[in-house]
Amino acid sequence: MINRVIGPVVSSAHLAEGSFAELSEFEFGLIIASNAFDRWVVRAMSAAGYPELSALDVLVLHTVRHRDRPKKLADICLVLNVEDTHTVSYAVKKLARAGLVRTGRSGKEKTVEATPTGAAACDRYREIREGLLIQTVQGLGLEPEQVSALAGLLRLMSGQYDQAARAATSL
């Protein structure tokens, strides 16, 4: 039996060959977590009765439902960090066709708010999340403060990636 250190665990060894290989580990974790999260969101909403929704559709619905007040399209894009507003606009149209949101106006701006059916779908999603995800995550023994710190790190890193994207655009 050969005893050797394995690692780092990355998706692209050629990127980890540079300095700060740990960032490649972070990126691989981000890739697989992002895909797992998208899959979870879609399947949970499907279990809630809406199998036709994409991950972005579900995230837009939850964002619109947040604090039960109308949202502007630009605000939804900002909160979700979505650059392509047409994808969010399409999601809103799809959610409206499903009866989950309705559009309105606030001055010249188009607004979106959850319908009672949309709110009920979000509530059902929360019940499924509590039963299938929250209980198992709590069983991992993580402290809530650790999860909160990790969320802060992800938000911080998203800013670094956004800044690097802006710089790359100028090359």
Asked if residue 36 has pLDDT above 70, the reply is yes
Percent of the chain with pLDDT over 70: 97
Q: Which residue has the higher pLDDT, 139 or 11?
A: 139
User: In 3-state terms, what secondary structure has residue 155?
Assistant: helix
Strand ranges for 86-140 from DSSP E: 101-106, 109-114
pLDDT band at 154 (very low <50, low <70, confident <90, very high): very high
Report which residue type is found at 106.
Answer: S
Least confidently predicted of 7-16, 58-67, 112-121: 7-16
pLDDT digits (tens, 9 = 90+) for 59-98: 999 999 999 999 999 999 999 999 999 999 999 999 999 9
What is the topology classification, in CATH, of domain 54-147? Arc Repressor Mutant, subunit A (1.10.10)
pLDDT band at 18 (very low <50, low <70, confident <90, very high): confident
Peptide bond into 51 cis (omega under 30): no
Distances (CA, A) of 171 to 17, 67, 144, 167, 168: 23, 41, 41, 7, 5
- How high is the pLDDT of residue 16? 87
User: In 3-state terms, what secondary structure has residue 104?
Assistant: strand
What pTM was estimated for this model as a whole?
A: 0.92
Task: Report whether 61 contacts 122 (CB < 8 A).
Answer: yes
